[in-house]
Amino acid sequence: DQQVKQNSPSLSVQEGRISILNCDYTNSMFDYFLWYKKYPAEGPTFLISISSIKDKNEDGRFTVFLNKSAKHLSLHIVPSQPGDSAVYFCAASAAGGGNKLTFGTGTQLKVEL
């Protein structure tokens, strides 16, 4: 069973506009959520995270929102830039789980000029 779901395999956005990537989870034990960005031929790189005690975390152009009741999180990128074009993975971990990450299937973001 897929405990972390990213239902949009791809997203295309114009440069300067907002990109919104979505993620849903089913495991109520998850309490720490992360977004990773991955370019081809490279490993995933950490982007931003949020713990379950918060509903928003912001870092520059990137903001992650967490809705615990809906078991949903989203990543907002504003303004989007061509260099943001990559695959974005949502991941989650549970307290006491030793930082083991459960990943979604990824969303390919393309930022067009």
Residues that bind other proteins (CB under 8 A): 4, 6, 9, 31-32, 34, 36, 41-46, 49, 51, 89, 91, 93-95, 97-106
Sequence-separated (6 or more) residues with CB below 8 Å from residue 71: 24, 25, 26, 28
Closest CB 65 distance from other proteins, rounded Å? 18
Closest CB 81 distance from other proteins, rounded Å? 22
Rounded Cα gap, residues 1 and 69, in angstroms? 20
Number of helices followed by number of strands (H, E) in the chain: 0, 11
Nearer residue to other proteins within complex by CB, 11 or 79: 11
Nearer residue to other proteins within complex by CB, 71 or 79: 71
Residue with structure tokens 């982007």?
47
Closest CB 75 distance from other proteins, rounded Å? 15
Nearer residue to other proteins within complex by CB, 36 or 80: 36
**Cα radius of gyration (the chain):** 13
